[in-house]
Structure 1
């Protein structure tokens, strides 16, 4: 009996050893190799006093633009410009057929001469009637009648003089001239086209120097800019605006706000402004889009990171930072205005943080990192836009 108990005990010990060995083997198989660190380039958050600029999308529009319409009807007989030409104020552009208006002027002058002759005869009669009335040879009623006839003829002369002036104006209006310096559109009418007075558009002329750049900003943006600039530099609001063209180049001339809309747009809640920019080289053309850069306040000790370090996901912004143990941490941040190829951080980072500037798309939260420090100045110079 004792032997059987010993045998059972030995057997149980062997079975337990086999089970433990199998469990250890399974554990070794499921654990797998430790993850390898991912190589990333890292730079510290930049902290410095920074002038903040605000950018808005703007569109170039002509400061003056007019659709040319003739004041008289007729057929275009002469065209003295081509589409796209630059024109000067007072430069002849089109001529309407003058013949009917020359005839109308001659007729008006003839009627005026006839009325003046009739008035001259009535005045002679009036002089004779006055002499006869003084001698008592005619009644007072006869004198009153001739005086009334004289007044009627004076009015008739004035009416015919007005017709002559109108006929002269109509004849002058057969010549269409440029109302200001500018450029004419390419869709102008051709010789032989019939023009209806006050309706037919002969061409459109836009002024070219200076031009307006129209842009919009929200109520809060307007209040912030107006308050900040007026508190530091009185009367500086809307001055020294810069323009960044679609090719990324900064326009050589600065502008200033000249017009502010009377109120906020009801459908968008934004305020429309127009800034005037010199355009002596005719580089800016109506319809162009550009970024209007408005100078703002000076931020003391601002935190800045490269724009390429920021990830935007579903309308939110994140930055990959190096956490304790050189592991990746995806941190939500609130970003402010852009400053060149940097981005100002409003919330979420401190000056002691290190951010991943290259290779961050390959890592997830908790991923071990092989950190390669980069010099901020060299990195920014290499990635400068």
Structure 2
């Protein structure tokens, strides 16, 4: 019994000694270096761009209304068709308008015949009056009748002109080039002159992008002496899929004042749309170029870390260890980020692998450049 107890004690002591030795050996083993990719802070003169979310709208939305009342007898287009100015869209039943034209033509013809008879009397009475064969009063009376008949002809002719115009208006044409909506009326529907909207035509080339600028942003442009005629040219448009629209735009309209509720200034930019890629209702980003930052410090946006409302980057320390640095961000430039405070030109910023690199962790650094990041639009 005593021998067995001594054996257990010695085994326990031996286990503790071995365990302590292993722990000491692990404690003295240096941490393994973390493989990261890093790049030198970039310094260059950088034009600052500003982005605004906008909505594509038609430059003109034209409601098509009939100038006369009646039933639609024919529809000559389909919803969504591209149409040209002057193209017939609808026909309104023209039978009663054709009858009015025929009646007006008859009235004009009758009035002109009566006028011709009176004018012959005037010429005959004029000759007799010159010879003293009739009283001058008879000539004056006949001349007055001729004037009355002439006025009657003019009145009937005006009615005929209006009747002919109404007959022409039975064919409703588009006043602009554009695309007709799909909610147009169908054949058989009754329309009221100047009231019923038969369809709406939206212009398609160019289109406008409606967006808003805050008061501070507007003041920023104003203070650098950049008028809308300057910064409002060569605007870029970024579509919802991230692609850049190939046609540059320009500022077209600026509202007269700030909106009371939002404090923003509404604007519209015009973009050519020859391929009709842009459709009203689409969302896109307007990109405008403002001031140029001289000697700006830039790093890739993906190197920036956010935590509790603050922004940090991981840099390579003097002994190739990870060092966390708080930074102040400036505007975004493409996929790069201007750093206003917290970094120096000589700093090397970790771009990939910083999630595994806690402060003080040794780093196995692979240096990369902008070409390795494949950042579009940046040389």
Partner of 2:244: 250
Partner of 1:335: 330
Structure 1 stretches lacking a partner, 5+ long: 1-32
Partner of 1:266: 260
Give the secondary structure class of the aligned counterpart of 2:158. Answer: helix
Superposition RMSD in Å: 3.3
Partner of 2:312: 319
Contact between 1:319 and 1:355, CA under 8 Å: does it hold in 2? no
Contact between 1:129 and 1:138, CA under 8 Å: does it hold in 2? no
- Is the counterpart of residue 45 in structure 1 residue 51 in structure 2? no
Q: Shift of residue 98 of structure 1?
A: 0.9
Partner of 2:159: 163
Task: Name which of 132, 155, 172 aligns with 2:168.
Answer: 172
Give the secondary structure class of the aligned counterpart of 2:45. Answer: strand
- Is the counterpart of residue 206 in structure 1 residue 198 in structure 2? no
Contact between 1:40 and 1:356, CA under 8 Å: does it hold in 2? no
User: Kindly tell me: are residues 372 and 264 of structure 1, through their superposed partners in 2, closer, same or farther at Cα, counting changes over 3 Å?
Assistant: farther
- Is the counterpart of residue 78 in structure 1 residue 70 in structure 2? no
User: Kindly tell me: are residues 378 and 132 of structure 1, through their superposed partners in 2, closer, same or farther at Cα, counting changes over 3 Å?
Assistant: closer
Task: Name which of 117, 121, 133 aligns with 2:117.
Answer: 121
Deviation per CA, 1:294-339: give whole Å up to 9, x if none: 223332211112223334567x441244589957546252422x11
Partner of 2:213: 217
Task: Name which of 133, 138, 142 aligns with 2:135.
Answer: 138
Give the secondary structure class of the aligned counterpart of 1:284. Answer: coil
Partner of 2:101: 105
Give the secondary structure class of the aligned counterpart of 2:201. Answer: strand
Give the secondary structure class of the aligned counterpart of 1:154. Answer: helix
Partner of 1:19: none
Contact between 1:69 and 1:198, CA under 8 Å: does it hold in 2? yes
Task: Name which of 279, 286, 290 aligns with 2:280.
Answer: 286
Q: Shift of residue 169 of structure 1?
A: 0.8
Give the secondary structure class of the aligned counterpart of 1:290. Answer: strand
Deviation per CA, 1:233-266: give whole Å up to 9, x if none: x964322222111111111121222333333333
Contact between 2:39 and 2:369, CA under 8 Å: does it hold in 1? no
Give the secondary structure class of the aligned counterpart of 1:197. Answer: coil
Partner of 1:191: 187
Partner of 1:22: none
Q: TM-score, normalised by structure 2?
A: 0.78
Number of residue pairs aligned between Structure 1 and Structure 2: 346
Give the secondary structure class of the aligned counterpart of 2:294. Answer: strand
Whole-angstrom distance in 1 between the partners of 2:255 and 2:353: 47
